[in-house]
């Protein structure tokens, strides 16, 4: 049963919350406190503070080993929302799915179901109280620590093996940061602004109006952060997220 969204950390622009329908114990959102706030370098830095604090708290409390980020870009999850979290409101938000050994429910098993058949986990009262305290400590530590070089050039490029979409399939773009990193927390704020510009520049047409995005972290030496952006259309013949999970890096992140 859906529950009230639970605020765990509020920063200057963004906040960390337990969603109304938590799909796993490690399912959280980083969402705007004010939907009208513009996405500037200050906003990007605050997003990174919230994300990094959430990741550190999840590592401390749940011993998480990976954290996958999912969000829509110019797209509102429709109907059964197979493969992605259902929209809770029109406020911009990013879903975080922490992964750890021994978890009882995986994000992929929940997201494979239609939204109306997903079972909310929880209520996680004791866990969230512990995480709230860990988030406060982690946010204070992140604010006091020097971050990644904010002045280095940061861009996102499309990997050359992008799939343009064939036989009715939606376009599948893979964006990677340059210079490459293995984790979101290693990005400077300028890289998030560059990512927003890269998403804006993705081609649309043939009914595609927006994108479902999945950001996966590297899980070992030589692996890099990747963002998978799948073109979405209201009248699409098939849901591209149903096949995305077959990719090894996405399967590892969600299943």
Contact 165, 153 (CB under 8 A): no
The whole-number mean pLDDT for each consecutive block of 10 residues of the chain, a chain of 255 residues, reads 77 95 94 93 96 96 92 89 87 92 88 90 92 96 75 77 53 90 90 95 88 85 85 85 78 72
* Domain limits for position 230: 6-254
What DSSP assignment string belongs to 16-84? EEE-SS-SSTTEEEEEESSTT----HHHHHHHHHHHHHHHHHHHHHH---EEEEEEEES----TT-TTS
Q: What is the CATH number of the domain that holds 167?
A: 3.30.428.10
d(CA 28, CA 6): 10
DSSP codes of every residue in 193-242: HHHHHHHHTS--BTTB-EEEEEEE---STT---EEEEEEE-TT-SS-THH
Tell me which DSSP letter residue 176 carries: E
Structural domain includes residue 149: yes
Any domain includes 58: yes
* 11 DSSP 8-state letter: -
141 within domain boundaries: yes
Q: Which pLDDT score is estimated for 167? A: 46
Closest CA to 21 of 108, 103, 88, 97: 88
Closest CA to 227 of 172, 186, 166, 188: 172
Predicted local confidence at residue 120, as pLDDT:
86
In sequence order, the 6+-apart residues with CB closer than 8 A to the CB of 118 are 21, 23, 86, 110, 111
The closest of 158, 215, 153 to 188, measured between CA atoms, is 153
Please check whether residue 1 lies inside any domain of the structure.
no
108 within a domain of the structure (yes/no): yes
- How many domains does the chain contain in total? 1
Report pLDDT digits (tens) over 234-245. Answer: 888 888 888 787
Give per-residue pLDDT as tens, 108-161: 999 999 998 998 888 899 999 999 999 999 999 998 877 666 545 678 998 876
Query: Is residue 89 in a domain?
Result: yes
For residue 166, the model assigns a pLDDT of 46
Residue 151 lies in a domain: yes
Bridge partners (DSSP) of residue 175 are 158, 227
């Amino acid at each position: 049963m859906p529950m009230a969204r639970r605020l765990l950390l509020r920063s200057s622009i963004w906040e960390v919350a337990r969603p109304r329908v938590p799909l796993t114990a490690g399912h959280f959102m980083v969402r705007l406190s004010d939907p009208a706030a513009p996405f500037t370098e200050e906003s990007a830095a605050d997003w990174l503070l919230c994300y990094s604090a959430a990741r550190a708290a999840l590592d401390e409390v749940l011993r998480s080993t990976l954290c996958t980020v999912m969000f829509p870009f110019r797209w509102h999850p429709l109907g059964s929302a197979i493969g992605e979290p259902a929209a809770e409101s029109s406020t911009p938000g990013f879903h975080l799915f922490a992964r750890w050994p021994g978890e009882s429910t995986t994000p992929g098993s929940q997201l494979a179901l239609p939204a109306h058949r997903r079972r909310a986990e929880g209520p996680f009262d004791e866990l969230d109280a512990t995480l709230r305290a860990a988030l406060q400590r982690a946010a204070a530590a992140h604010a006091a620590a020097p971050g990644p070089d904010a002045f280095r050039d940061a861009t996102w490029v499309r990997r050359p093996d992008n799939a343009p979409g064939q036989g009715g399939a939606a376009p599948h773009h893979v964006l990677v940061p340059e210079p490459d990193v293995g984790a979101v927390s290693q990005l400077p704020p300028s890289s998030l602004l560059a990512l927003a510009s890269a998403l804006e520049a993705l081609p649309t047409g043939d009914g595609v109006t927006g994108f479902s995005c999945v950001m996966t972290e590297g899980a070992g030496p030589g692996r890099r952060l990747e963002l998978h952006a799948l073109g979405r259309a209201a009248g699409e013949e098939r849901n591209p997220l149903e096949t995305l999970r077959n990719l090894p890096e996405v399967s590892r992140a969600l299943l």
